[in-house]
């Protein structure tokens, strides 16, 4: 996968943060090489009062390799001994963010805690 420079990542993060401040980038996601930059959605955005505007965060997530067990719904670091024990039929080698794996319903291995 193509890598982005730290300058490009900083620029994209700043751009999303500025857009998020004016409300046009809520819940948006941008991928840059091995990084995912996303803005958080807030539940308070329906009708905030002027003095209580919700805070919007910017999250930069590192994309990496994981080994998922389709049967047990656990995920591992590729170097974890537990990953080596997964049967080929249950094994899924995945490249993405930790949050995306959690969103798919997988739980982290208790040994390697990826």
For residue 63, what pLDDT is reported?
86
Tokens of 111: 């040994």
Q: pLDDT at residue 80 above 80?
A: yes
* 3-class SS shares of the chain: helix, strand, coil, % to 5: 30, 25, 45
Q: How far is CA 79 from CA 55, 65, 66, 109, in A?
A: 38, 10, 9, 12
Phi, psi of 94 (to 5 degrees): -120, 140
pLDDT digits (tens, 9 = 90+) for 2-52: 556 666 666 666 666 666 554 444 566 666 666 666 665 554 444 444 444
Q: pLDDT at residue 93 above 60?
A: yes
In total, the chain counts a number of residues equal to 114
For residue 37, what pLDDT is reported?
65
> How does DSSP classify residue 74?
E
């Amino acid at each position: 996968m193509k890598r982005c420079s730290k300058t490009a990542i900083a620029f994209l993060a700043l751009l999303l943060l500025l857009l998020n401040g004016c409300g046009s980038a809520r819940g948006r996601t941008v991928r840059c090489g091995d990084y995912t930059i996303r803005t958080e959605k807030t539940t308070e955005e329906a009708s905030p009062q002027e003095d209580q505007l919700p805070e919007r965060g910017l999250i930069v997530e590192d994309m990496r390799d994981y080994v998922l067990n389709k049967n047990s719904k656990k995920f591992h670091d590729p170097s974890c001994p537990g990953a080596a024990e997964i049967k080929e039929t249950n094994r899924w080698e995945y490249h993405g963010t930790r949050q995306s794996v959690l969103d798919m319903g997988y739980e982290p291995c208790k040994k390697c805690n990826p």
